[in-house]
Structure 1
Amino acid sequence: MDVNEFMKDAVVTMKQVAGRTLRVATWRLDQPSDHLPVLFFNGIGANIEAVAPLADHLNERPFIMFDMPGVGESPDPLLPYNPFTISWTAAQLLDQLGVGDVDVMGISWGGGIAQHFAMQHAERSRRVILIATSAGMLMMPGSPKALTKMANPRRYVDADYMIKNFETLYGDGLGKSKGKGGHMSRLKPPSPRGYMYQLICMLGWTSAPALPFLLKQETLIMMGDDDAIVPLANGKFLNMLIPNSELVVMEGGGHLFLLSHEEESISAIQSFLNRKEGAAGKSQAA
Structure 2
Amino acid sequence: MTGHDRPAAGFARAQDGTALAYQHHGQGPPLVLLAGQANNHHWWDGVRGDFHTVRSTLTLDLRGTGDSGKPEGPYCVRQFADDVVAVLDALGIARADVYGTSMGGRVAQHLAIRHPQRVGRLVLGCTSPGGAHAVERDASVRRSLAQPDAQAVRRVLADLMYTPLWRAAHPGPYHTLGDPRMPAHARRGHLIASNGHDAWSELPRIAAPTLILHGGQDRLTPPDNLALLASRIPGARTHLFPHARHAYFEECRNEAGKLVRQFLTGEN
Give the TM-score category using the shorter length: 0.7 to 0.9
Is the Cα–Cα contact under 8 Å of residues 222 and 249 in structure 1 kept in the other structure? Answer: yes
1:271: which partner in 2? 262
| Shift in CA distance, 50/179, structure 1 to aligned 2, threshold 3 Å | farther
Please give the per-residue CA displacement for 1:185-239, whole angstroms capped at 9, x wherever unaligned: 9853122111111122244431111112x11211000011100111111001111
Which stretch of the first structure deviates more once superposed, 135-144 or 259-268? 135-144
CA RMSD of superposed structures (Å): 2.4
5 Å matches for 1:1-286? 11-18=8-15, 19-28=17-26, 31=27, 33=28, 36-60=29-53, 61-137=55-131, 138-150=133-145, 155=150, 158=151, 161-163=153-155, 166-167=158-159, 169-172=160-163, 176-184=167-175, 188-189=179-180, 190-212=182-204, 214-275=205-266
Contact 1:174–1:260 under 8 Å retained in 2:
no
CA distance in structure 2 between the aligned counterparts of 1:236 and 1:254, rounded to whole angstroms: 17
Write the distance in 2 (CA, Å) between the matches of 1:194 and 1:69. 8
- Residue 244 of structure 1: CA displacement? 1.3
Deviations 1:164-200 (A, max 9, x none): 6632x22425653433513159853122111111122
In 1, distance between residues paired with 2:40 and 2:183? Answer: 11
Gaps of 5+ in 1: 1-9, 281-286
Q: Deviations over 1:122-157 (max 9, x none)?
A: 0121111000000012311123222333456865xx
Q: What secondary structure sits across from 1:40 in the alignment?
A: strand
2: CA distance between counterparts of 1:154 and 1:218? 42
Query: Given the superposition, is the C-alpha separation of residues 173 and 248 from structure 1 closer, same or farther in structure 2, using an over 3 Å criterion?
Result: farther
Bigger shift: residues 186-195 or 144-153: 144-153
User: For the structure 1 residues 228 and 26, does the alpha-carbon distance in structure 2 shift closer, same or farther, using more than 3 Å as the test?
Assistant: same
Q: Which runs of 5+ in 2 are unaligned?
A: 1-6
The aligned length equals: 258
TM-score with structure 1 length normalisation?
Answer: 0.82
SS at match of 1:89: helix
Q: 1:130 and 1:151 mapped to 2: Cα distance?
A: 26
